[in-house]
């Protein structure tokens, strides 16, 4: 980091707390300051260009220079820069966006409650489950089942729904009525000799056993991402969700589909629900709703839930929930323009075409000594890093290989995300085949850098024969 106290880097270190950052190391390393965007690329303040292989935070679907979204924001700022939807007031953009969402959403959904982030959308989904069951005279039916490796946000309760240890340690989480069930990764959690079908049987049985053990009358909902994002880009077995939902219906447990990452084309269809046969009672969206150009999210609910909470709010005299910026007119206008672009440019069709190439490139790394599994769907994927392919032994966190690969990629002009034992990819939906090739050419180089370090540490054998 520069020693100039007036530099942007020094000012950053002096003034900002960075999310998901080693704050102690940041005092010395300082920030990478992103100054400009261009399509699927971003540029730092020195002019270096990076292919953004994570679409920012799994979110910038239309890239970093979509002028129509800028113009939509300017038009609305000039007309009505801000207002709220409390106390029966409304705005044209919020109404039109709600209508547009319901037009493309799963048919089971009928009303929209806006918020500002995925965390808020999931947090209020939980509150709606509680309010709904109070309305029905079921005050005990409040617990929500999340999954290990699920990620649902970082507020106090959505952070509790999240099933990742580092989001809980020393944050005094989880708290509240949360239960936890299995992560649907056959590769990571399948037992020796267990087929994928048998694995699914076991997970479905474990869920039903959990419900019966805890009492169906105490459980209000089950929450799941169609594809786990931050928890490892976990793609479930093909019949996992239909079978899980059959159990949920049996015990009158609501299905919350967290589409914050998967929604709006990421999996190759408009929603992950469409891809995996999910019929949600509640669905949450954010991120690609506005291509992340402005903060906005939404919680969509079924007609039975909407009718029950409406009647209950009438009895109480108020629906006492809401955020100041929910349905913000400028954010809504930008989100509405984003949905128009998806339709007019057939972004879903583009994803379907490019994703076949993306997934083929991803799976071409299966012969690499570090790669145990290549998994993904649409334009999201991951490479699982292992020390031994036969036993599926993942790289130990202490080895630092994931971080090494992530940093090496950035040095070579590619932004990806790595955990200690996996590398994740989630590029803007507008990426081309040539840009997919560019992305994975760098991945090939940095995997070899990771392999050399793993060999130096004695974690894998020397040479490509380690793959055999």
Domains and CATH numbers, the chain: 32-65+347-467 (3.90.1150.10), 68-344 (3.40.640.10)
pLDDT of residue 462: 53
pLDDT of residue 78: 98
pLDDT of residue 465: 34
Q: What is the mean pLDDT of residues 194-218?
A: 98
> What separation in angstroms does the CA of 218 have from each of 183, 221, 282?
22, 10, 19
Q: What is the mean pLDDT of residues 307-335?
A: 98
| CA gap 97, 338 in Å, rounded | 10
| SS3 readout for the chain | CCCCCCCHHHHHHHHCCCCCCCHHHHHHHCCCCEEEEECCEEEECCCCEEEECCHHHHCCCCCCCCHHHHHHHHHHHHHCCCCCCCCCCCCHHHHHHHHHHHHHCCCCEEEEEEECCHHHHHHHHHHHHHHHHHHCCCCCCCEEEEECCCCCCCCHHHHHHCCCHHHCCCCCCCCCCEEEECCCCHHHHCCCCCCHHHHHHHHHHHHHHHHHHHCHHHEEEEEECCCECCCCCECCCCCHHHHHHHHHHHCCCEEEEECCCCCCCCCCCCCHHHHHCCCCCEEEECHHHCCCCCCCEEEEEEHHHHHHHHHHHHHHCCCCCCCCCCCCHHHHHHHHHHHHHHHHCCHHHHHHHHHHHHHHHHHHHHHCCCEEEEEEECCEEEEEEEEECCCCEECCHHHCHHHHHHHHHHHCCEECEEECCEEEECCCCCCCHHHHHHHHHHHHHHHHHHHHHHHHCCCCCCCHHHHC
In this model, does residue 467 exceed pLDDT 60?
no
pLDDT of 255-298, one tens digit each? 999 999 999 999 999 999 999 999 999 999 999 999 999 999 99
pLDDT of residue 461: 74
Report the Cα–Cα distance between both ends of the chain, in Å, rounded.
43
Which of 155, 126, 153, 164 lies closest to 57 in space, CA to CA? 153
Angle between helices 67-79 and 329-344 (to 10 degrees): 150
| CA gap 258, 272 in Å, rounded | 9
> What separation in angstroms does the CA of 30 have from each of 9, 17, 23, 41?
6, 11, 10, 22
pLDDT of 411-456, one tens digit each? 999 999 999 999 999 999 999 999 999 999 999 999 999 999 999 9
386: Cβ contacts below 8 Å, ≥ 6 apart: 370, 371, 372, 392, 393, 394, 395, 421
Share of the chain above pLDDT 70, in %: 98
Radius of gyration of the chain (CA): 23
301: Cβ contacts below 8 Å, ≥ 6 apart: 109, 110, 111, 113, 128, 281, 282, 309
- Kindly report the backbone phi and psi dihedral angles of residue 393, in degrees, each rounded to the nearest multiple of 5, phi listed first: -80, 120
Bridge partners (DSSP) listed for residue 365:
none
In this model, does residue 209 exceed pLDDT 50?
yes
* Contact between 280 and 257 (Cβ < 8 Å): yes
Q: What is the mean pLDDT of residues 137-160?
A: 98
In this model, does residue 22 exceed pLDDT 70?
yes
Bridge partners (DSSP) listed for residue 115:
297
In this model, does residue 121 exceed pLDDT 50?
yes
Q: What is the mean pLDDT of residues 63-72?
A: 98
Bridge partners (DSSP) listed for residue 417:
424
Q: What is the mean pLDDT of residues 394-399?
A: 96
| CA gap 338, 329 in Å, rounded | 14
Per-residue confidence at 464, pLDDT binned at 50, 70, 90?
Answer: very low
Strand order in the sheet with 178-181: 109-115, 297-302, 282-285, 254-258, 219-224, 143-147, 178-181
pLDDT of residue 5: 85
pLDDT, mean over the chain: 96
pLDDT of residue 2: 64
The pTM of this model reads: 0.96
pLDDT of 162-190, one tens digit each? 999 999 999 999 999 999 999 999 999 99
| CA gap 12, 27 in Å, rounded | 9
């Amino acid at each position: 980091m520069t020693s100039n106290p007036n530099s942007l880097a020094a000012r950053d270190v002096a003034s900002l707390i960075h999310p998901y950052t080693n704050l102690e190391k940041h005092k010395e390393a300082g920030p990478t300051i992103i100054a400009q965007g261009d399509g699927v690329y971003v540029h730092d303040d020195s002019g270096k260009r990076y292919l953004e292989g994570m679409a920012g935070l799994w979110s910038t679907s239309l890239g970093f220079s979509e002028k129509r979204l800028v113009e939509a924001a300017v038009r609305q700022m000039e007309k009505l820069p801000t207002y709220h939807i409390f106390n029966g007031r409304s705005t044209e953009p919020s109404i039109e966006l709600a209508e547009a969402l319901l037009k493309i959403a799963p048919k089971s959904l009928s009303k929209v409650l806006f918020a500002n982030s995925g965390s808020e959308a999931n947090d209020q989904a939980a509150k709606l489950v509680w309010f709904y069951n109070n309305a029905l005279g079921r005050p005990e039916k409040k617990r929500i089942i999340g999954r290990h490796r699920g990620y649902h946000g970082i507020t106090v309760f959505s952070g509790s729904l999240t099933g990742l240890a580092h989001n809980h340690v020393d944050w005094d989480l989880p708290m509240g009525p949360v239960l936890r069930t299995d992560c649907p990764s056959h590769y990571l959690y399948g037992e020796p000799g267990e087929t994928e079908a048998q694995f699914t049987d076991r997970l479905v049985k474990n869920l039903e056993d959990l419900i019966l053990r805890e009492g169906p009358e105490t459980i209000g909902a089950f929450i799941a991402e169609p594809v786990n994002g931050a928890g490892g880009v976990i793609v479930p077995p093909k019949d996992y969700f239909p079978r899980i939902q059959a159990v949920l219906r049996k015990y009158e447990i609501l299905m919350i589909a967290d589409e914050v990452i998967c929604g709006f084309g990421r999996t190759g269809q408009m929603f992950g629900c469409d891809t995996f046969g999910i019929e949600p009672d509640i669905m949450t969206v954010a991120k690609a709703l506005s291509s992340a150009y402005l903060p906005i999210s939404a919680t969509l609910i079924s007609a039975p839930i909407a009718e029950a909470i409406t009647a209950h709010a009438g009895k109480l005299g108020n629906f006492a929930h809401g955020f100041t910026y929910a349905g913000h007119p400028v954010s809504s206008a930008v989100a509405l323009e984003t949905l128009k672009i998806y339709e007019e440019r057939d972004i879903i069709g583009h994803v379907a075409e490019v994703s076949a190439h993306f997934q083929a490139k991803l799976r071409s790394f299966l012969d690499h000594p570090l790669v145990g599994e290549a998994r993904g769907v649409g334009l999201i994927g991951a490479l699982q890093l292992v020390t031994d392919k036969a036993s599926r032994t993942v790289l130990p966190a202490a080895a630092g290989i994931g971080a090494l690969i992530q940093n090496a990629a950035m040095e070579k002009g590619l932004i990806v995300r790595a955990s200690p034992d996996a590398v994740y990819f989630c590029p803007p939906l507008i990426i081309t085949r040539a840009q997919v090739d560019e992305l994975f050419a760098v991945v090939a180089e940095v995997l070899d850098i990771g392999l050399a370090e793993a060999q130096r540490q004695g974690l894998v054998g020397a040479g490509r024969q380690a793959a055999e």
